[in-house]
Every structure is written in C-alpha cells, then in structure tokens.
Structure 1
Amino acid sequence: MSSSAILPANQKRRINTLRVVMLVMIPLVLFTRPGLPLYGGLMDFIESVGMLLVIGGVLGRFWSILYIGSRKNALVMRDGPYSICRHPLYLFSTISVFGFGLMLGSLVLTMVMTALIFYVLNDIASKEEQFLRSEFGPAYEEYAAVTPRIMPKFSQFSSPATVTFDTGTLRRNFFDALVFLSLLPIGEMTEHFKDIGALPTFPLF
C-alpha cells in the first residue's frame, strides 16, 4: 500500500476521544470512596506515590517531546524514550492517570481508569502505526519488531550524547502538561469535599 493511501492519524480526533473518556470517568472520581478505610501513614504514603507518578508522567512526556519535537511522522525515532517503547507519550500519560487513581485511594478506580486510558491510547497508537508502516516500510517494521508499543523494555535504552529539540513544539505541549498537572489539585479538592460530606459517595475498594 502506498503512503499516499494512508494519512497521519487525526490528532484532533485523538484529543476529543480522550476528553470523552475523561468525562465518562468524572462521576467515578466524584462519587466513589475507598471501600476499605486506609488510615494514617498508609493513605498518606499511597497519595504521595500517586503524586510522584503524576509528576513523573508529566516529566516523561517532556522527555519524549525533547526527542521527537516537530519530527513526528517525519522519521523513525529510535533514541531515548523511543528506544524503550514506540509510543512513550502514551506510556507516560498512562502513568499519570495511574498516579491520579492512587491519589484517590481506590484500587478498583485506579485499575478502571488506567485500563480505560491504556485501551484508548493503545487503539490510537495502532491507528497511527498504519501510517507509519506505510510511510517508512521496512525501517518501521524492523523498529516495531524489537520495540514494544507502549509497555517499556528498559534493557534496550539507548541515546546519543547530544540531542537537539524544537522549542515551539515543547511550548505547545506545555498546555498538555498543565492538563495532567491539574490532576494534583483536582485530586486534593475532591478528597476534601468527600471528607466534609459535601459529595454523596458510594464505596469502591
């Protein structure tokens, strides 16, 4: 199949799909609470781990953008985060959502949100790869044969000593980072309103 027969994935559709998924999850975030109480230091520890994962996910997205920059769909990037998986932006987005779930203290909610986001992002990645395979042919097939799609393979990390990046692309992705960073105050405010009884909730372990 020629590269002209397949167009790059519609990024606006990708963003809108993720927005719909987030809207679906809002009721679960607002109106559930941990089915088993977690007291004192354990809950604080889980929340702290969740916060660190959210921040780590944001930093990971910036790390990925430093490498791919404005070259997305223009070459087969195999360095840095792209050496451990083919779609590191989606990996770190999933990590941020997992961290947000931990902040809320519910194992079921964490698993549901993470699985849903991972499913959507994996499907989007599959559609994006249709273009990449048609555009780059054997070069992308070789890359895909040894590099997992989203789940990382850290043992094959590699990177050149010097990396150049596009400041415009990094600046545009700053707003995506703000969306993920907003999970931190949203999680804290949600828990506060639940604690004072301002939100009706049902238990979800």
Structure 2
Amino acid sequence: MDRVTDSLAFNRRGIIGLLLLLPISAVLSFSKPLIVEDSFLDLAMDGLAWILFYIYVTFRLWATLYVGGRKNIELQTEGPYSITRNPLYLGSLCFALSMACFLKSVSLLLTILLIWIFYSKGVINAEEEYLARKFPEIFNRYRQETPRLLPIPSRYRNGSSIKVDLNALKFEAKRLWAAGLLPISAELLMHLRMAPWWPHWFWLP
C-alpha cells in the first residue's frame, strides 16, 4: 500500500482535526459571547451558518455518490469532481466554518483556518501526489482543467449514469445524521452562554 494512504495520520485526519478543535471549543464554552442574542448580527450569522451546513451536506452526499468505495481506485472527474478536485474536503471545510458561525467565534474561525492550512499543505498535497503517480496522464490534465477547491459551476459535466456504492452511501448518511446534532448543540450552547447565570471564566473573541 502507498505510504500516503497507509499513514495513520492520513487515515485518521478527521479525528485529528476534531481533537485539535476540542481545546478551543471547551474554552469557548465558558467565554462571554460578543454578539447579543436575537440581534441582527446574531440572526445573520445563524443564516450563514445554516447555508454553510447545507453546502456541507450537499457536497458530502453528492461526492459520495460518485466516489464512494472507489476513492484512490479509479479517478473520478464527473459530477462534483468536474467543478472542484476536492468536493469532500470542500464540504468538510464548510462544516467547520458553519460551526464558527453558529458559535459566533473569531478565535474558532482562525483556528479552523490554521488547521485548514495543515490539511491543504499536508493531507491534500499528499493525496494529490499519490493520484498523480497512480494516474499520471489523466490526473495531470485533470489538475490543469479543474480548480483545487473553490468550484467553478461552468465546468460541470456529467455522464448518463453512475455506479453507486450503497454501503458507502449508507455510511456517509450515518455520518451526516451525527453531524446534524452539532448545529443543534451549538445553538443550545450559544443560548446558555448568553444567559446571565452561565459562568464566563474567559474572554475569547
């Protein structure tokens, strides 16, 4: 097996990212919020958070339909993969950004961006180098034609049919059900943080 995909850090990248966010999330829980509850800015941030969350759900399910069970086995270049090379990572980034918006935290946003630099320079670069070695001619052309992350809808192309891995889709659906609990938890936490009786031990923007 290739040294990249066989790496424990690579295979557990999602868990590692979550563990990196836990300390600041714990401190944030006992920090006084900067935004007043039910203010215009509070509602606007919630609206943006839900938009980012739905983008996350869309790209995770859409990409899984095309690549589920076949990632690193065959190169997928249609559907969501025709408008961005990394729709799964784009979805995950939107999910993390939605949490920063739900919690109205600049500190969490900056932490997420720092972690994303690690993902971009480490994980995504390593994975694309692996794909370039495995599919040298196809991937190099694909890399030149398709943006790395931010999608370009005008480049969308699709075949008449796709082969769907139902087990991979079922696994992703379970992941999304679990992820759906986090916005609810974030909204509850924000409500508690804004209560006058809630302990505010830190100041963290």
Q: TM-score, normalised by structure 1?
A: 0.83
User: 1:137: how far off?
Assistant: 1.0
Q: Supply the AA of the counterpart residue of 1:96.
A: F
Structure 2: give runs of 5+ residues left out of the alignment. none
Q: Which runs of 4+ in 1 moved over 6 A?
A: none
Identity of aligned residues (%): 23
Report what 1:119 is aligned to. Answer: 117
Alignment CA distance shift 1:7-1:63 (3 Å): same
1: CA distance, partners of 2:118 / 2:163? 31
Q: Secondary structure at the match of 1:150?
A: coil
User: 1:116: how far off?
Assistant: 3.1
1:1-205 alignment, distance < 5 Å: 6-7=2-3, 9-10=5-6, 13-32=9-28, 33=31, 36-38=34-36, 40-113=39-112, 115-122=113-120, 123-196=122-195, 197-205=197-205
Q: Supply the AA of the counterpart residue of 1:142.
A: R
Question: How big is each residue's C-alpha offset from its partner over 1:64-122, in whole Å with a ceiling of 9 and x where there is no partner?
Answer: 00111222112221111101111110011001111111011123422332x13422332
Alignment CA distance shift 1:129-1:184 (3 Å): same
1: CA distance, partners of 2:11 / 2:187? 25
Alignment CA distance shift 1:193-1:27 (3 Å): farther
1: CA distance, partners of 2:32 / 2:116? 22
- Asked whether the equivalents of residues 31 and 199 of structure 1 are also in contact (C-alpha less than 8 Å), the reply is no
Q: More helix per residue: 1 or 2? A: 1
Q: Secondary structure at the match of 1:100?
A: helix
Structure 1: give runs of 5+ residues left out of the alignment. none
2: CA distance, partners of 1:42 / 1:97? 19
Q: Supply the AA of the counterpart residue of 2:114.
A: L
After alignment, is 48-57 or 83-92 more displaced? 48-57
Q: Supply the AA of the counterpart residue of 2:188.
A: M
2: CA distance, partners of 1:24 / 1:186? 19
2: CA distance, partners of 1:34 / 1:168? 43
Q: TM-score, normalised by structure 2?
A: 0.83
